[in-house]
Amino acid sequence: MFINMKDRQLNLKVVYYGPALSGKTTNLERIHAKTDPSRRGELVSLKTAEDRTLFFDFLQLELGKINGLTPKIQLYTVPGQSYYQASRKVVLKGADGVVFVADSSPRRLQENMESWNSLHTHLEELNIPIHHLPLVFQFNKQDLENALAPSILTRAFQTGSYPTFSASALEGRGVFDTLKAIINGVVSSIRN
Ligand SMILES: Nc1nc2c(ncn2[C@@H]2O[C@H](COP(=O)(O)OP(=O)(O)O)[C@@H](O)[C@H]2O)c(=O)[nH]1
Ligand SMILES: [Mg+2]
């Protein structure tokens, strides 16, 4: 969080985290495509030649005023490939909230779990207590014929009290439900 008192702006950072290819970039592309251009910036993507996220994607949204401040939500994604450990940690720094984008494909369960564990490790290293951080789960790729049911994923991740959303970022389902939930979580944690 960063408050610029002069411009009465409140900058909030939300990070889309998850294994490689779970659909994090697709979420931001959907949000970008469906948000009024007057309320959003450009989608900035740093990609490799194979269209993979190299460092992060970035999208800024503007919300209605809160207590006289204009909140700007900055959405980031992390690169999922294991050799980008260090950049994942850098992107997480200063996060006010996290969306964990899980891949519902049964073949990706192991990668999901590794990514979920690495999130815990990074937050610990950054001294961010995970239980104080607003976090929302998205079970993406629910359109796949063999997608794992949300009840199975809920159990696998032991999501506890975290909000969970079924989604197909590809079809545009669940993307804004997820976004609204994390924004609500972040805004109410700041109010406290
Ligand atoms: N079937 C299906 N494919 C998806 C969905 N979301 C993303 N994808 C595909 O998964 C691949 C990786 O998506 P991307 O957003 O680049 O993943 P990232 O590595 O997490 O940023 C792309 O081919 C997407 O089109 C989804 O909801 N359903
Ligand atoms: Mg990506």
61-83: pLDDT as tens digits = 988 887 788 889 999 998 776 66
Mutation choice for ligand 1 from 83, 87, 100, 170, CB with most ligand atoms inside 8 A: 170
Q: Compute the distance from residue 103 Cα to the ligand 1 centre, in Å.
A: 9
* Nearest CA, atom 14, ligand 1: 23
% of the chain residues with pLDDT over 90: 66
Q: How sure is the predictor about 87, in pLDDT bands with cuts at 50, 70 and 90?
A: confident
HEC sequence for 109-141: HHHHHHHHHHHHHHHHHCCCCHHHCCEEEEEEC
Domain residue spans in the chain?
2-191
Q: What is the pLDDT of residue 86?
A: 76
Q: Which residues line ligand 1 (CB under 6 A)?
A: 18, 20-26, 53, 77, 80, 140-141, 143-144, 168-170
pTM of the model: 0.93
Does the domain at 2-191 match CATH 3.40.50.300? Answer given as: yes
One-letter identity of residue 2: F
Judged against a pLDDT cut of 70, whether residue 49 lies above it is answered with no
